A and B are shown apart, each in its own frame.
Chain A
Amino acid sequence: MTKHKILVVDDDADLVRALRLRLRANDFDIATAGDGYAAIAAAQKEHPDLIILDLGLPAGDGFVVLERLQNNDTLSAVPVIVLSARDPQANEARALKAGAAAYFQKPADNDELLNVIQTSLMETVVKLPS
């Protein structure tokens, strides 16, 4: 079976490096992007199976990215997991409504995050319209 590819979008390069190491160790291929604009470009070029998305991003924040992914026929099926330092009380519902599959507040538990990644990838069901 080919490896699943995860696109990690975060402007904190150190965090991206750590996530890359961890996800690689769990047998994923990794692509990265450091801002909203690069995120869309990478999503179109790399064909990721899943996207981990920060909300506070330069050049188009996470919500803009979510919206653009949702409006793209091929990319709207890719599950997006939001990983943000922002307060879930103010942002979680909004992110889920915008099409995210799950919301984690930083710092997130690695096992929980990996669990949700696994379950999101296991499903081949076409994403439901929200």
Chain B
Amino acid sequence: MNDPTTRVLLIEDNPGDVDLVRLRLVESLPNLEVDCVQRLSDALASLERETPTLVLLDLNLPDSRGAETFRRVREKAPQVPVVVLSGQADEALALKAVHQGVQDYLIKGDFSGKRLEQAMRYAIERQSLARSLDMSRKQQLEFKNQFLSHVSHELRTPLTCIHQYVTLLLDGLAGPLAPEQGDHLKTVLKSVNQLHAMIRDLLEATRAESGKLRVEPRCISLAKLVEQAYAMMKPTAHAKQVGLELGLDQRIPLVYADPDRILEVLINLMDNAIKFTPADGAVTIKACMQQTDPNVVYVSVCDTGRGIGPEAKSLIFERLYQDPDSVDNNRSGLGLGLFICRELIRLHQGTITVASEVGQGSTFTFTVPVYSLAKLLLPVVTYRGALRQAFVLVEVELKPVSRRPMGNWKEICETCLETLRRCVYLDKDLVLPPMGSSGTSETFFVVASTDMQRSGIMTTRIREQLQRVANLEGAASLTITTCPVDLSPISPQSSVEQQVEQVADCVSGMVLQRLGSEPGEQARQKPKQQRNNEVPRRRK
């Protein structure tokens, strides 16, 4: 405090009080520099310019009163210690101030110069202590996360070795095995796979905690994804003699979601459901629309297991939660699965909930946002408040010429999409966001405000431009098809918004039909049967 550079910002509007405080400060601290402002706005401006050693703050200023005053000062300069000098002895307000990080609360006229000097000195000390605690907490968290991510990486190396040798033996590559030996090795492999899944969850949870979990939403067919998850889990359910049923609404709209991540959530929920359902029970996976919210699709996984008690229900999505009654709790995992699910659904702006009663089974339901084509279409399909005359849907399909996996395929597709965007008129044509086929071929769609007759000019332009894209020649084959959008069901009486909705419905119907009409493609994407409970991993 005797440091001559110690500078105090006194925020006080009453000239008498200013003099009093100055007098007391000078009396005990002659080297102190005191700046005085009368309004909160001036104080905030001053804090913006430079950082004082300490702030002395009156709460009732011409432009701010009470709790609001210290809230704003703290917000502006969280690192500066604040001592409130109040005219009123209000214990509740004082407590509130301390909760918000104010270091002390003194009543005017109630303290000597010595007492004020002490209060200021302690305030500075406490503030610096709080700061270093906060920093070390952050450092520890960062250190913990780095450590976990390092550990999960290091654990993989010996695990890979175990995995390799066990599969070598199991596949008979080191000589024939007696049946019993084979059975034992299968048990080893099962445990290896469980360990693998745990390591992965550990890394995912660490990412979720440090905000590094990412999703890449695209416009995808949820129905296809649900079917894929169903096919992947069928063997697991079958092995446990649990029935697996699929209930898909006839017309699920396209959704805006990350296919890999939603699949991960689905698999996780289904795996849990099967795990907690006894033999001869059933697990049902459903996707449907509900009238309560047309902007989301509800996906639910319902089992006939033993259900979840009310207490567990409120905790089940928390990190590290373990069901205390779990029958086979020696193998219940890390308790991270549902936490990761919740974080992934959150990143999709969705919600995940559970409905359950003990003995009645459980239903986990999550929402996935519907991809709203109408919102995107509105500005391009209307002109001066009315629907344009005619539209066509242009489908641009890229198929790699070679079957060899190409590292730069994704890049080629991105370049093509960019080029495609440059080929259209932004005010009347729309290149739809990429569709979800994560397989090898890629399809782009353009809704163009033109008729079939005139669309030829556009498709020629697209073809020329895309063929010019470096790498495309020889790398991919290009197919362009054009289809008129049928406007006959659109009623001229309805509002323009409704008309756009109808056009959007029609277009998404066409897109869905296109994407669904590729049985070959779908078959290729269907994952093959996983070995022995092997945790499904993301497909490359």
Contact = CB atoms under 8 A, between A and B. Distances in A.
B454 interface: no
Interface in B405-431: 405-408, 410-411
Given A15-B164, A21-B174, A111-B528, A85 B157 contact: yes
Contacts of A100: 407
Nearest to A26: B173
- How big is the B interface, by class? 35 or more
Interface string A14-58: 110011011001000000000000000000000000000000000
B162 to A, nearest CB: 8
B331 interface: no
B153 A87 contact: yes
Contacts of A112: 540
A14 B159 CA distance: 12
A123 B403 CA distance: 7
A98 to B, nearest CB: 8
B156 A21 contact: no
A90 B211 CA distance: 15
B405 A125 contact: no
Given A95-B407, A102-B405, A106-B156, 4 more contacts: A12-B157, A101-B405, A120-B404, A125-B474
Contacts of B168: 18, 21-22
A128 B163 contact: no
A1 interface: no
A8 B61 CA distance: 74
Interface in B86-120: none
Contact of A128 (B156, B159, B203, B406): B406
Which of A18, A88, A125 has the most CB atoms of chain B within a 10 A radius of its CB? A18
A53 to B, nearest CB: 13
Given A96-B410, A123-B402, A125-B402, A14 B161 contact: yes
Nearest to A88: B538
Interface in A101-115: 101-112
B153 A15 contact: no
Contacts of B534: 109
Contacts of B528: 111
Nearest to B192: A107
B475 interface: yes
A125 B403 CA distance: 10
